[in-house]
Amino acid sequence: MALLSKKPYLSIVIPLYNEEENILPLYEEISHVLKNLRREGEIIFIDDGSTDKSFQILKNLVAKDKRIKVIQFKRNFGQTAALSAGIEFSKGEVVIPMDGDLQNDPNDIPKLLAKLEEGYDVVSGWRKNRKDPYLTRKIPSSIANWLISVITKVKLHDYGCTLKAYRREAIERIRLYGEMHRFIPAYAAWEGARITELTVNHRPRIRGKSKYGITRTFKVLLDLITVKFLGSFSTKPLYIFGGGGAIFLLGGFVSGSVLIYLKLFKGVYMIQSPLLHLTALLITLGFQMLLMGLLAELLVRVYYESLDKKPFVIKEKINI
Ligand code: UDP
Ligand code: MG
């Protein structure tokens, strides 16, 4: 991938939902950091349908500081949607998302940038010393991180940390749904991005309330299934469905053969044997899966062609 320009323009992207007490102190901290860094940048706040004074406070800030941009959602669409809107409207060569509740520390931004400039495309923040409750956050999160690492084959300690740094080109093609913002590094890695981790500071939430409960973990795990499926088989779904279907059909064939053998040579009535049910079930399932695979193949073609998506990512072109 191309080198970053000397002083890349930064886009700091901050989704927030009812964080009225945190916006101003966060803004002060970020401006201070940008000033010391001597970097140009924009700070994009996405008000994810707040019902408190968040939007009013943001509006007042825009009047004061031109670097601030605000997107207000009509209702609460969730942090992932807010992040993807922020990324879409951002202009920076480098995109740095962070939480709006002061739990991430803007003082980590220079470190993340320095690491990115070493030649990485994604620098993932790792809240090594996380200041959150054990039972509802730290334990579920360490299990989730382990599972995500194993399944996506992209090993990171802290997928859930919002504070990360991305080169724009590594993430601009990624579309996000559900709780999927945490999978951005995995998607980017699948497309060939170079990824590293950096420990970042984490602070306890002092003002406002956390917006999540334990149910988030289950949503993340379900999303993981989708991500894995999309990542491994989205261009060739027949390989997975067809593979499964073939195994079922083979099983059905074996159990059917045994059934016929028993009838012909051992005098067992077919209806007496549980194998009859098994054979019928396996053969039906096998055909169903094959057909499902063919349907999925059709869907994939519609998907790629209607969006003009390509099943590959080019690194460089020479003389074309
Ligand atoms: N957030 C959001 N929309 C939501 C929920 C949360 O924009 O529907 C924002 C929230 O304001 C905060 C960030 O996402 O800036 C992380 O949320 P929170 O601090 O509640 O998560 P936790 O740190 O407890 O995991
Ligand atoms: Mg938080």
149 CB less than 6 Å from ligand 1?
Answer: no
| Residue 113 Cα to ligand 1 middle (Å) | 23
Residue 125 is given by DSSP the state E
User: Is 301 part of any domain?
Assistant: no
CA–CA distance, 272 with 24 (Å, rounded to integer): 76
Domain boundary among 183, 215, 232: 232
User: Is 144 part of any domain?
Assistant: yes
Residues 89 and 223 placed together within one structural domain of the fold: yes
- The pLDDT, as a whole number, for residue 319 is 81
- The pLDDT, as a whole number, for residue 1 is 52
Residues 156 and 281 placed together within one structural domain of the fold: no
> How many domains does the chain fold into?
2
Domain, as residue range, for 248: 237-292
> Any idea which residue has 């601030």 for tokens?
68
**89 exposed, middle or buried (CB, 10 Å; 0-12, 13-18, 19+)?**
middle
**Residue whose CA lies nearest to ligand 1 atom number 9:** 16
User: Is 3 part of any domain?
Assistant: no
- The pLDDT, as a whole number, for residue 231 is 82
Question: 29-33, 164-168, 211-215, 259-263: which range is least confident on average?
Answer: 211-215
- CB contact at 8 A, 150 and 223: no
Residues 127 and 197 placed together within one structural domain of the fold: yes
20 CB less than 6 Å from ligand 1?
Answer: no
User: Is 311 part of any domain?
Assistant: no
Residues 97 and 241 placed together within one structural domain of the fold: no
244-267 per-position pLDDT tens digit? 999 999 999 999 999 999 999 999
pTM comes to 0.87
Neighbours of 120 (CB within 10 A): 21
Residues near ligand 2 ion, CB 5 Å cutoff: 101, 103
- The pLDDT, as a whole number, for residue 312 is 76
